[in-house]
Amino acid sequence: MKLEEPIPITKPTLPDIQEILPKISEIFSTRMITNHKYVKEFEERVAEYLGVEYAVAVSSCTSGMMLVIKSLGLKGNVILPSFTFHATAHALSWNGIELRFVDINPETLTIDPAKVEENITPETSAICGVHTFGNPCNIKALQKIADDHNIKLYFDAAHAFGSIFNNKHVGSFGNAEIFSLSPTKLLVTGEGGIVATNDPELKKKLVIGRNYGDDGSYDCKFAGLNARMEEFNAILGLSGLKNIERNILSRHQKVVLYKSLLSKVPGISFQKIEHQSRTTYKDFSININSDLFGLTRDELSLKLMDAKITTKKYFYPPVHKQRLYYKDGMKFDKDLPETNRIANNSLSLPLWSDMDENMVREICSKIISIREGL
């Protein structure tokens, strides 16, 4: 397969425009374009799919996390992984919370419960787990720790809409789980997020919080955000929700192909998905052992770029080494050996739901030929 155009890292899965035009015409005619009929329907359908009591639509996963942290009344410090997208940390920083970084399990790439236990202090108010690339955390272990210490547990589930843990959809665990619906995700609303919870009081605060903290009385109860979802975004989400299982299956099929073609290449390993879990494969990342592969992750990435194949170094640098967090974050560096190792060697390859499998074959062929050409 000769590449005429670069292969992107991902593409959003969007509906046929003719499918959604009648609904778009309706919202234009009524001029109710924000947080109205279709947002409510979207929330209901998402709650039904996830098996939760409440789903609250917001403008982004980041705003959803900010509101969850505010609404749960968190203070002191919160434990989180450094191997994550920086928004996980930003939401805490915006709320004045101290970040306490802990290491990850080097196989699953999710937060290590043993390290969480070791790092709880009297000032710890919550644990933030991250379902990395859609792979669920060890939720059971984290919930036990949270219960034992009487602290909150919430999840950055940005990658995990459609993931499953112990036969239950991610979304129904902890105090809340927050999903991203941006263009790189499986369920796309353009921009947007969903907070899933079974807590009626938290749901009430979130609904008020996304409207500046105003419950409709114009007398704000707390400092909220303008984090409402638009009707157009909800229409996209409703369309995508109908095909979510098909899209997850499609990604799994591509990953099976990737693994079958790359599994025998020395120096390449994959994220481990535990038997009780289903990941969404929001990203498919490989880990490069340069001693065995013959090139570093960065060298391979450059050669793939020359071959018109886009890759991403997720997550590099890890949050604790980013300029914004470096001063405080580096005090944890010696305790994050797996985070540092994985961040230096992880490379995400192109993947999207309706990706042509011939592209997967071409990418794998190029990786193999790069190594064989050394």
Handedness of CA 322, 328, 333, 336 (dihedral sign): negative
65 lies in some domain: yes
CATH number, domain of 54, equals 3.40.640.10
293 lies in some domain: yes
Taken as a whole, the chain contains a residue count of 374
Distance CA 268, CA 294 (A): 11
Non-local (6+) Cβ contacts of 184 within 8 A are 10, 12, 282
Q: How many domains does the chain have?
A: 2
4 lies in some domain: no
227 and 205 Cβ atoms separated by less than 8 Å: no
Alpha carbon distances (Å) from 351 to 223, 253, 370, 372: 39, 11, 20, 24
Give the pLDDT of residue 82.
98
Enclosing H/E stretch for 302: helix 297-306
User: Which domain covers residue 22, as residue numbers?
Assistant: 17-102+109-241
Where does a domain end: 241, 261, 287? 241
Residue pLDDT, tens place only, 338-352: 999 999 999 999 999
150 burial class (0-12, 13-18, 19+ CB within 10 angstroms)?
A: exposed
Same domain, 55 and 129: yes
178 lies in some domain: yes
Q: Reply yes or no on whether the pLDDT at 2 is more than 80.
A: no
DSSP annotation string for 90-123: HHHHHTTPEEEEE-B-TTT-SB-HHHHHHH--TT
Give the pLDDT mean for 283-311: 98
Alpha carbon distances (Å) from 119 to 102, 152, 283: 7, 15, 29
Give the pLDDT mean for 31-39: 92
Non-local (6+) Cβ contacts of 330 within 8 A are 320, 321
Residue pLDDT, tens place only, 6-32: 999 999 999 999 999 999 999 999 998
Same domain, 267 and 237: no
Give the pLDDT mean for 225-238: 97
Distance CA 64, CA 228 (A): 10
Same domain, 98 and 226: yes
Of the candidates 7, 278, 260, 298, the one whose C-alpha atom is nearest the C-alpha of residue 270 is 260
Confidence of residue 5 (pLDDT cuts 50, 70, 90): confident
Confidence of residue 260 (pLDDT cuts 50, 70, 90): very high
Same domain, 347 and 367: yes
Q: Reply yes or no on whether the pLDDT at 3 is more than 70.
A: no
Residue pLDDT, tens place only, 50-86: 999 999 999 999 999 999 999 999 999 999 999 999 9
Non-local (6+) Cβ contacts of 265 within 8 A are 293, 367, 368, 371
Of the candidates 102, 90, 98, 143, the one whose C-alpha atom is nearest the C-alpha of residue 124 is 98
CATH number, domain of 345, equals 3.90.1150.10
Same domain, 200 and 77: yes
Same domain, 83 and 130: yes
Confidence of residue 187 (pLDDT cuts 50, 70, 90): very high
3 lies in some domain: no
CA angle 257, 181, 351 (to 5 degrees): 20
Give the pLDDT of residue 66.
98
1 lies in some domain: no
Helices (H) and strands (E) in the chain, counts: 14, 13
What rounded mean pLDDT belongs to the chain?
97
Same domain, 126 and 229: yes
Same domain, 227 and 300: no
The CA-based diameter of the chain, rounded to the nearest angstrom, is: 69
Give the pLDDT of residue 107.
98
What letter represents residue 191's amino acid?
A: E
Non-local (6+) Cβ contacts of 323 within 8 A are none
Same domain, 309 and 173: no
Judge if the upstream peptide bond of residue 266 is cis by omega within 30 degrees of 0.
no
76 and 123 Cβ atoms separated by less than 8 Å: yes
193 lies in some domain: yes
Give the pLDDT mean for 311-315: 97
More confident call, 59 vs 34? 59
Same domain, 35 and 98: yes
2 lies in some domain: no
Residue pLDDT, tens place only, 136-157: 999 999 999 999 999 999 999 9
Give the pLDDT of residue 35.
85
Backbone angles phi, psi at 157, to 5 degrees: -105, 30
Same domain, 199 and 291: no
Give the pLDDT of residue 4.
74
Same domain, 169 and 203: yes
Where does a domain end: 190, 224, 241? 241
Return the bridge partners of 195, or none.
56, 178
pTM, 2 dp: 0.97
Where does a domain end: 196, 222, 241? 241
